[in-house]
Amino acid sequence: MLFAQVPLFPEQASTGASRVDGLFFFLLGIGGFFSILIAVLIVVFAVKYRRRPSNLATPRITSAVLPELVWTGIPAIIAAVLFVWGAKLYFFVARPPDNASEIYVVGKQWMWKLQHPEGQREINQLHVPVGRPVKLILTSEDVIHDFFVPEFRTHVDVVPGRFVESWFQATKPGQYHLFCSQYCGTNHSGMVGTVDVLEPEEYRRWLTSHAEGSLALEGRKLFLQYQCVSCHSANSNARAPVLEGLYNQRVALEGGGSVIADETYLRESIVRPDAKIVLGWRPIMPSFQGQLSEEELVKLIAYIKALGPGQTPPRIDSAKQPVAKPEASAGAAAAPNAAAPNDTNGKTESQK
């Protein structure tokens, strides 16, 4: 009775869990069957074809078509079944439903930071409603992490410098474990959390009680703070591509080719604007590598995703006017240093 209370497998608490378990148990059964079969055949053949006296030589077999067809055909059929089954499961996991709620996840040593589109922010804890698909958009601030919820069979590498996606739909209210399953440093074992699955009405109450500024609103503040609008003005004075309705659209690039403007492309265009130059625009944007945290990048990307036709804000010059005219000598020395921040902030357009 020592192990009576130890579950052999995590419970199935998502729509994808039973699909993953079905393939897993099929692979386990096939592997176990053939392991036993091969072990038995080794023993049988070792006894039957053991070394005999020289006058009892084993007869020479020149053709065995039927056994060859059997041991070739059956594994080929099993392999084909596994391929089709695995491909269907992969496409199910890799394609979130269109109506899925988006949640941004940033992994860092040694915590999970989660941000809801309505503005709710959590650390090492995620609240989701039961029966509604949830799409996770994940990135890492430092090293490779791995977002793992055993009960949902959700397991995805979180890589620095890019966004990856995963999704689940919880089927049972309750609290479930959240782990980092990729060794990420000395406190890796402490990078744990919980996923709280709530009934729809309880989830709405939680959203209301934890309401903050939305991600898009926070991103708009950054968009104005860094004067991105000075170039991405969406009018005749624009010096950079229009961002309105850009998300998930195909963008033509200099030198031929094109790219879909997804989260990874938008992030790259902010931190490495010269990596992919939009056709018809000059590469004048400075890099924001190291100037924006991953959380700030998430906010900016959320704002760009939400930006619709005619929603680009007007340019606002937030620079304060000098109180008094500076002395000539002091002004001459200070002018180059004073102009540098404005020059930088005035060229923050993203080559999208």
165 - beta bridge partners?
A: 137
Q: Domain 101-209, what fold?
A: Immunoglobulin-like (2.60.40)
Structure confidence by residue, pLDDT tens digits, 242-298: 888 888 899 888 888 888 988 888 988 888 888 888 888 888 888 888 888 888 888
Answer yes or no: is pLDDT of 190 > 60: yes
From 65-74, 175-184, 197-206, 305-314, the region with the lowest mean pLDDT: 305-314
Say what the pLDDT of residue 337 is: 39
Answer yes or no: is pLDDT of 351 > 80: no
Q: Domain 216-318, what fold?
A: Cytochrome Bc1 Complex; Chain D, domain 2 (1.10.760)
Answer yes or no: is pLDDT of 327 > 60: no
Give the pLDDT band of residue 193 (cuts 50, 70, 90).
very high
Please give the Cα distance from 303 to 132 (Å, whole number).
24
Please name the residue that has the structure tokens 């392999």: 79
Say what the pLDDT of residue 8 is: 76
Q: What is the mean pLDDT of residues 33-48?
A: 92
Structure confidence by residue, pLDDT tens digits, 142-184: 999 999 999 999 999 999 988 899 999 999 999 999 999 999 9
Delimit the domains of the chain by residue range. Answer: 101-209, 216-318
Structure confidence by residue, pLDDT tens digits, 50-64: 776 666 666 676 777
Token pair of 106 as six digits: 């940033």
Structure confidence by residue, pLDDT tens digits, 207-251: 877 666 777 888 888 888 888 888 888 787 788 888 888 888 998
pTM of the full predicted structure?
0.71
Give the pLDDT band of residue 5 (cuts 50, 70, 90).
low
- 232's CB contacts (< 8 A; 6+ apart) are 238, 240, 241, 242, 243, 312, 349, 350
What secondary structure does DSSP assign to 188-233, as a single string? Answer: GGG-EEEEEEE-HHHHHHHHHHT----HHHHHHHHHHHTTGGGT--
Q: Count the Cβ atoms, other than its own, within 10 Å of residue 14.
A: 23
- 57's CB contacts (< 8 A; 6+ apart) are none
Same fold, 101-209 and 216-318: no
